[in-house]
Amino acid sequence: MSKKETAAAAAVVQTPEYVPVDSDFVLKNDESALAIDENFAAQSFWKDALIRFVRKTSALVGLVLIVLITILAAAGPGMNKYSYSEQNLNEKNLAPRVPGLEKTGMFDGHETMKTSSGHTKINSYVDKGLKDVYYWFGSDNFGRDIWTRTWEGARVSLIIAVAAAIIDMIIGMSYGLISGYFGGRVDMIMQRILEIANGIPRLVIVTLLLLILKPGMITIIFALMLTEWISMSRIARAEMLKLKEREFVLASRTLGAGSFFIIFREILPNIIGPIITQVMFSVPTAIFTEAFLSFVGLGIPVPQCSLGSLISDGFNSFTTHSYQIVPPIIVMALLMLSFNLVADGLREALDPTLKEM
Amino acid sequence: MKKYTIKRLITSLFTLLVIVLILFVLMKLMPGSPFNDEKLSEDMRAALYAKYGLDQPVIVQFFRYVGNLLRGDLGVSYNISKNTPISQLVQTRLPISLGIGFAAVVFGALVGLILGLIAALKHDTFIDTICTIISVIGVSVPSYVFALFLSYEFGFQLGWFPILFNARKAFTSSVLPSISLSMFTMASIARFTRSEMMEVMGSDYMLLAESKGLSGRALIFRHALRNALIPIITVLAPLIVDLMTGSLVVEKIFAIPGVGSLLVNAIQSNDYNVVIAMSFIYSAMYILIMLAVDILYGVIDPRIRLAKKGD
Amino acid sequence: MKKKKAVVAAALCVVMAGSVLAGCGGGSASTAESGAAAGESGAASSVEASTDDLNVMVETPVESLDPQQATDGTSFEVIADYTDGLMQMDAEGKPINAIAKDYKVSDDGLTYTFTLRDDAKWSNGEPVTAKDFVFGWQRAVDPAVASEYNYMLSDIGQVKNAADIIGGKKDKSELGVKAVDDTTLEVQLNVPVSYFLSLMYFPTFYPVNEEFFNSCKDTFATSPDTVLSNGAFILDDYQPAATAFHLKKNPDYYNADSVKLAGLNYQVIQDSQTALMNYQSGSLDTTLVNGEQVDQVKDDPAFQTIGAGYLWYVTPNVSKVKELANKNIRMALTMAIDREAITTDVLKDGSIPTYTAVPLQFATGPDGSDFSGDQDKFKDVCAYDADKAAEYWKKGLEELGIDKLSLSMVVDSDDAPKKVATVLKEQWEKALPGFEVTLDVKPKKQRVEQLQDGDFELGLTRWGPDYADPMTYLGMWYTDNPNNYGLWSNADYDKIIDECTKGETAQDPEKRWTTLYDAEKIVMDDAVILPLYTQANAEMISPSVTGIEFHPVALNRVYKNAVKAASK
């Protein structure tokens, strides 16, 4: 109740001796309106969550973006004649040139080169006599098409990130649930292990692992998994502590349910909301960690690429051919943004207490 | 509280010891040896192993190392800076990383908090969108890109700040590295503050406080922010450790003599002692900060303080 | 390897009495295109010298300032800034007197007697005496010090008893070096070593003051207070593994008048873009530039390329990988490489495509010509020819009875080798149908270890010359040489190498020279290695600076004759 209404109520009280008459009370006389009885109980939790999710525009935008990027990551590399690994040293470092748009002077393949004598505008397509050659996002140091590589990289990054996040979820969730459920000494030991695992710098673990194992996507997923499960297990444990003394757990236990039945069949479905949200948040983290590994030179083996390795390649040409770093950065930023938006949307959708602001 | 703190300290020490042991085993698993020059012969390498006692069994090395550690001796570097005591390297480098990291944490946390607060108070408006975009850029662009961009624009083009770190101009030359380091923290804190504030403001006790007639600043700062702070500190704590222990990429770009590049170089050149020492410092800081956070919780939230008395 | 080197070195000394040698320093001092920097220090003296420091950059931090412990280029360069040995390098890379003012060689070539100048002082005021050299050299061979470059005294320098002391068989006091009096140093060698003088500028042979050393003990050479200078500069600001350090002019240097710089301001910069920004903003006087940046600066008069001496090559593991034991496969691999494209389109730093097993510009023959000057002589077996490569490939696959082959190549994680490997992979896969290469990118230390252990299929590696003779390369493919990573073995080849080291040919420089070509021909014809290029560095050197001396090996940059013009 806001203050204004309270004030109004006070005003009514001050009005002296009002005697109500019959005309003050009339039937609303709208049978149809009366008949409508919104029955929330009829809707399942998930349907309800879906409705809440769809109502949130930002989350929808995020979802659409993820779908769009996924489609492009799947189909993008096939949309022109170039392959992600084929080099053409004669056509290297060409600025973006797009058919149609080139007439506007924007994407016509020119770039400004800063030489020691000043800025010069050059168009390597014209200089090299390349007439019908179009690199939509430009070409890199080896004459590879950045468009193709960006989507190829997005594909690799998405696979790595989603796989790592799902494996994290399984391991971290189980660990957290078990630790939280049993409590006492089990919890104490499991938490010490966690503390130790967390105390060793990730970089040390990950680089060692990449040095020992054969480099490749599986190794990177494994390395990410090793470091990312911890935060997941924390959340699962916290949720478990909240729920394990609840009546339905007690009921299940008195009915003779075993510990693992209670953990995975009774409690897990009740905490799936925060877990899914955490997965959504850990996807961007995984993309980021992979990017860092690329920077240290331990990323995906060349000529394969990921968004991270593309950014670190582009980084090396930042002051010379700055257009090379732009596409992977934008795709990465959009992915990060959309995963975060979806995660936010999910959190609000799955946790109705947050709903009314 | 005192009993709890002591108990935590003892377990922390034990944890640290286990970490050192694990690091020792990891180093043994590491392929390659620290002495590995193209021009180095087998005999020479054996002589070097003998010189540093690396020919002993791991368990002997471990106990010797722990013994030295307790006396404050972290060993010498094999590679990065030959025969230099690591404690000397740490003494000169850690303060620099701590300084830049601390500046980054303070800057990131403050700006993030303010951005998050504004976004939460004006949620679903244009300002909120702007804040969201800023924080998304912060979490989605790698810090080395920020670092290079900042040094190019503000260092090279505009000439406002030095491009390289300079111990004699420590303050001005720390500005750009600190800002590029703080972007991620800032963005995460902003996002987190926003969602926590929205959650707290939607809660029953806020409604109560509001209906009691509290308004404006008191409501936000005394009630809402204080309650939102606990989860924010939880998020901030590990970020602090990451920032204070140096960042390879930013150190590389600004030529900062910090500890981040030391660790990476050490890993890549198999400088065992340096890897173990740096990891040890990292772990110790991590555990210490976690401990501090736990105690801080008690200060902010009396309920936790009470709960721990029974522990 | 040590044994081999001993033999080689022993022979060299007999042979090369006449030839001009730069020893470990390598031959030509500089291949600077504009030639502005090197060798003009005389002319530059007319320019008014600036009182500013010279601001220079290095890519890696100093690993050690202990002359007997240092092994990397940066450390050598900095140590030589403030320490003089018996000899130093001149602009051409030849040894010139430094602390030694005179020397005598006995007729049998086994005894060197150096007379030291009496005006050389350490920066604590003590004179530099022969004892300091004895102490330094003994440290170098002391097993307790375990100097990684001790083979400079034993195998290469052939100093008497050095090998036995390193092996623990004799005490270090028995080393064949003696301080007759304060200014006379007598060195005994096992065999005559003609390039012995040019070893003297190598930091492993630098003097260390014993009294000062004992006063520092474990902290020796870790701070400005724990190093002594007897050279052109004094280290006045330094911390271990620092990213910036400073040296100032040494006023008590015996040759202080010729030092024009007020000081040297070193900055360690790993990122080349940051380095170039610093150069362009004026806070650096010289900088290295790489790859794409060359396009931006190649028309600048300050741009130069400077030979770095290294040969980069691919080594196939012929003993462990049966497909690579097939000569046709190896021929196909080497002929499918477009080396010109690698150097002009990818590296751009002035590296020279190399079609010989010995790199260019370091070994000069009896007639004064570069051993590898003629790059066409093996072109028929390694020049780029995709059609011929495919032919060899087809033949090789048929012989092996396969139609596909996939191999992995181990590569350094540094920028340049990674780029080169990426191009190699593409060139091979394009030219050779059914070939697939995976790149195994590892930090350099791991890469070296994998090669040494024979744990590789193809390896991209490099080798810098130890002394200015083709043998520093050709000796590598001798059976059982530890750097013969692929374990290739050929009796004829071993015979030629033996002949040129111990046999009669060793006594006849001209004949030896041509015989070495025969050995190289065997290596090339059999495609034992796939040479790629001779490395060069692209540098920007501010036009106001002259007289910086560049050398491919040992002391990469010498600044003491540099002059920086005063800014107006």
Please tell me which chains touch C, using 3 or more CB pairs under 8 Å as the contact test: A, B
Nearest by CB to residue B257, choosing from C66, C242, C271, is C242
Distance, in angstroms, between C320 CA and closest chain A CA?
19
Q: A329, B18: Cβ pair inside 8 Å? A: no
Q: Residue A295: in which H helix or E strand, if any?
A: helix A268-296
Q: Which amino acid is located at C537 in the chain?
A: N
Q: What is the pLDDT of residue A11?
A: 47
Q: B145, A315: Cβ pair inside 8 Å? A: yes
d(CA B10, CA B30): 31
With CA atoms as reference, the chain B residue closest to A336 would be: B140
With CA atoms as reference, the chain B residue closest to A207 would be: B267
Confidence of residue C185 (pLDDT cuts 50, 70, 90): very high
Is the Cβ–Cβ distance between C138 and C130 less than 8 Å? no
- With contacts defined as CB-CB under 8 Å, which chain C residues touch A303? 422, 425-426
Distance, in angstroms, between B27 CA and closest chain A CA?
9
Q: A114, C296: Cβ pair inside 8 Å? A: yes
Q: C64, B268: Cβ pair inside 8 Å? A: no
Q: B140, A200: Cβ pair inside 8 Å? A: no
pLDDT higher at B141 or A330: A330
Q: B82, C448: Cβ pair inside 8 Å? A: no
Q: C66, B166: Cβ pair inside 8 Å? A: no
Distance, in angstroms, between C448 CA and closest chain A CA?
14
Q: What is the pLDDT of residue C95?
A: 86
Q: What is the pLDDT of residue C324?
A: 92
Mean pLDDT of C9-13: 41
d(CA B301, CA A93): 58
Mean pLDDT of B73-100: 85
Q: What is the pLDDT of residue A39?
A: 53
Q: What is the separation of C-alpha A333 from the centre of its chain, rounded to a whole number of angstroms?
A: 10
Residue C8 has pLDDT above 50, yes or no: no
Region of poorest pLDDT, from A41-50, B23-32, B154-163, C222-231: A41-50
Is the Cβ–Cβ distance between C339 and C355 less than 8 Å? yes
Contacts 24+ apart (CB under 8 A), C500-506: C500/C11, C500/C471, C501/C7, C501/C8, C501/C10, C501/C11, C501/C12, C501/C471, C502/C7, C502/C10, C502/C11, C506/C11, C506/C14, C506/C15
Distance, in angstroms, between B266 CA and closest chain C CA?
11
Please tell me which chains touch A, using 3 or more CB pairs under 8 Å as the contact test: B, C
Is the Cβ–Cβ distance between A329 and B170 less than 8 Å? no
Mean pLDDT of C246-267: 91
Mark which residues 142-181 of C lie under 8 Å from B by CB.
143-144, 146, 148-151, 166-167
Confidence of residue B137 (pLDDT cuts 50, 70, 90): confident
Confidence of residue A31 (pLDDT cuts 50, 70, 90): low
Q: What is the pLDDT of residue B133?
A: 80
Q: What is the pLDDT of residue A34?
A: 56
Mean pLDDT of C307-314: 88
Give C188-226 pLDDT, tens digit per residue: 998 877 778 888 988 999 999 999 999 987 789 888 999
Q: How many CB pairs under 8 A join A and C?
A: 78
Give A189-245 pLDDT, tens digit per residue: 888 888 888 888 877 887 777 777 777 888 888 888 887 888 888 888 888 887 878
- With contacts defined as CB-CB under 8 Å, which chain B residues touch A356? 202
Q: What is the 3-state secondary structure (H, E, C) of C379-448?
A: HHHHCCCHHHHHHHHHHHHHHHCCCCEEEEEEEECCHHHHHHHHHHHHHHHHHCCCEEEEEEEECHHHHH
Among C157, C149, C156, C154, residue whose Cα is nearest residue C167:
C154
Question: What average pLDDT does the structure give for chain A?
Answer: 79
Among B127, B296, B118, B106, residue whose Cα is nearest residue B220:
B118
d(CA C449, CA C456): 10
Mean pLDDT of A20-42: 61
Pairing state between β C458-463 and C303-316:
antiparallel
Q: What is the pLDDT of residue B308?
A: 46
d(CA A284, CA A335): 8
Q: B148, A318: Cβ pair inside 8 Å? A: yes
Q: A87, C423: Cβ pair inside 8 Å? A: yes
With CA atoms as reference, the chain C residue closest to A87 would be: C426
Q: C300, A318: Cβ pair inside 8 Å? A: no
For an interface test with C, which of A117, A211, A213, A302 has the most C Cβ atoms less than 10 Å from its Cβ?
A302
Mean pLDDT of B202-229: 73
Q: What is the pLDDT of residue C20?
A: 36
Q: A142, C422: Cβ pair inside 8 Å? A: yes
Among all chains, which residue has been given the structure tokens 């022979």? C11
pLDDT higher at C440 or A297: C440
Is the Cβ–Cβ distance between A109 and A133 less than 8 Å? no
Q: C297, A115: Cβ pair inside 8 Å? A: yes
Q: What is the pLDDT of residue C487?
A: 86
Nearest by CB to residue C271, choosing from B36, B41, B252, is B252
Q: What is the pLDDT of residue C49?
A: 55
Q: What is the pLDDT of residue C28?
A: 37
Residue B14 has pLDDT above 60, yes or no: yes
With CA atoms as reference, the chain C residue closest to A83 would be: C426
Nearest by CB to residue A357, choosing from B11, B202, B249, is B202
Q: What is the pLDDT of residue C186?
A: 95
Q: What is the pLDDT of residue A2?
A: 44
Nearest by CB to residue C439, choosing from A117, A301, A321, is A301
Among all chains, which residue has been given the structure tokens 């040129």? C500
List Cα–Cα distances, A308 to A314, C411, C474, in angstroms. 10, 20, 42
Distance, in angstroms, between C299 CA and closest chain A CA?
8
Q: B167, C446: Cβ pair inside 8 Å? A: no
Q: What is the pLDDT of residue A346?
A: 81
pLDDT higher at B249 or A136: A136
- ipTM score assigned to the predicted complex: 0.78
Among C235, C243, C129, C256, residue whose Cα is nearest residue C182:
C129
Q: What is the separation of C-alpha C447 from the centre of its chain, rounded to a whole number of angstroms?
A: 19
Distance, in angstroms, between C300 CA and closest chain A CA?
6
Radius of gyration of chain C measured on its C-alpha atoms: 24
d(CA A216, CA C408): 13
Helix (H, G, I), strand (E, B) or coil at C92: coil
Helix (H, G, I), strand (E, B) or coil at C463: strand
Nearest by CB to residue B151, choosing from C274, C461, C482, is C274
Residue C246 has pLDDT above 90, yes or no: yes
Mean pLDDT of C536-558: 88
Q: A212, B31: Cβ pair inside 8 Å? A: yes
Q: How many CB pairs under 8 A join A and B?
A: 110
Q: What is the pLDDT of residue C464?
A: 81
Give C74-112 pLDDT, tens digit per residue: 899 999 999 999 998 888 778 899 999 999 999 888 899
Q: B18, A291: Cβ pair inside 8 Å? A: no
Q: B82, C483: Cβ pair inside 8 Å? A: no
Q: A319, C421: Cβ pair inside 8 Å? A: no
Query: Dmax over Cα atoms in chain B, in whole Å?
Result: 83
Nearest by CB to residue A116, choosing from C273, C300, C341, is C300
d(CA C523, CA C500): 16
Nearest by CB to residue B282, choosing from A201, A325, A354, is A201
Residue B216 has pLDDT above 70, yes or no: no
- With contacts defined as CB-CB under 8 Å, which chain C residues touch B157? none
Give C379-436 pLDDT, tens digit per residue: 888 889 999 999 999 999 999 999 899 999 999 888 888 889 989 998 999 899 999 9
- With contacts defined as CB-CB under 8 Å, which chain A residues touch C415? 316
Q: A297, C302: Cβ pair inside 8 Å? A: no
Q: What is the separation of C-alpha C516 from the centre of its chain, rounded to a whole number of angstroms?
A: 21
Is the Cβ–Cβ distance between C132 and C86 less than 8 Å? no
